[in-house]
Amino acid sequence: MGGLSKLYLLSYNSLQAIGWAVSSFQILCNLLSTSSVAGAYSSAGKLISFLQCAAFLEVIHGAIGLVPSGALLPLMQWGGRTHFLLAIVSKLDEVQQLPSVFITFFAWSISEVIRYSHYAFSCIGNCPYWITYLRYTAFIVLYPLGVGPGEIWIMYQALPIVKKKNLYSETFSGLPFSYYDFLKVVLIIYPFLWLKLYLHLFRQRRSKLFKRQDKKRA
């Protein structure tokens, strides 16, 4: 990787880490000041939406070979999160104050601070082991937390609201199904797509942590 590419990736990952750290701080400050989890979206929703949209760059990074991840898995994660965030949470005031939004945002923020910090330190070739360990261990709890009681539960709770409002009726007018039908299909396949990503991270964990330990023993 050339020096310019390293500088770009270092800048991108550092800014993302800072952004997600700020969102974590905003969520926690709102929680402490209001003693309620209902303000997670109002306190950090816009920033998180911006950071998530900007993460499409990671799909491009993989597609052009700037990073070895490829484009498919980053696209799956980006697409799932962005649809959840922009198509559902930002459009439905009724779900924005639900506890599941707090759970999702908190899990996302912590996991992304860890992930982007790991990437940033790796760009300079000096990533502390404890950050690497967190990167490939914290996801075991944070990812299911963000997806199960977070994303999937919110989408399920949004179903009757989507049906009542006939959400995106104009967009789907030329199709043989509604957005409500689309969302039901998404709910069915979402756990399977997420499991693919989750198991991929376990394979990475085995590679990054255990092989490193084996090298030290050798």
- Block means of pLDDT (10 residues each) for the chain, 218 residues, are 88 98 98 96 97 97 92 93 96 96 97 97 92 95 95 97 95 95 96 92 89 55
Q: State percent of the chain over pLDDT 90.
A: 88
Would you say the pTM of this structure is higher than 0.75?
A: yes
Residues classed as catalytic: 143, 151
Instruction: Return the pLDDT at 170.
Output: 93
Instruction: Return the pLDDT at 218.
Output: 47
What are phi and psi for residue 178, nearest 5 degrees?
-100, 170
Which of 106, 104, 73, 108 has its CA nearest to residue 88?
104
Give the ranges where 64-151 is alpha helix by DSSP (H): 72-82, 93-96, 99-123, 129-135, 139-146
- Decide if 77 contacts 62 (C-beta within 8 A): no
pLDDT tens digit sequence for 85-118 = 999 999 999 999 999 999 999 999 999 999 999 9
**CA distance to 158, 185, 203, per residue, from 208 (Å):** 38, 35, 9
Instruction: Give the end-to-end CA distance of the chain in Å, rounded to a whole number.
Output: 28
Place of tokens 């964990």: 205
What are phi and psi for residue 80, nearest 5 degrees?
-65, -45
Place of tokens 């979402």: 190
Instruction: Return the pLDDT at 215.
Output: 53
> What distance in Å separates the CA atoms of residue 19 and residue 17, rounded to the nearest whole number?
5
Q: Per the structure block, which two tokens stand in for 145?
A: 């937390």
**CA distance to 18, 53, 84, 162, 186, per residue, from 158 (Å):** 31, 22, 10, 6, 13
- Decide if 134 contacts 210 (C-beta within 8 A): no
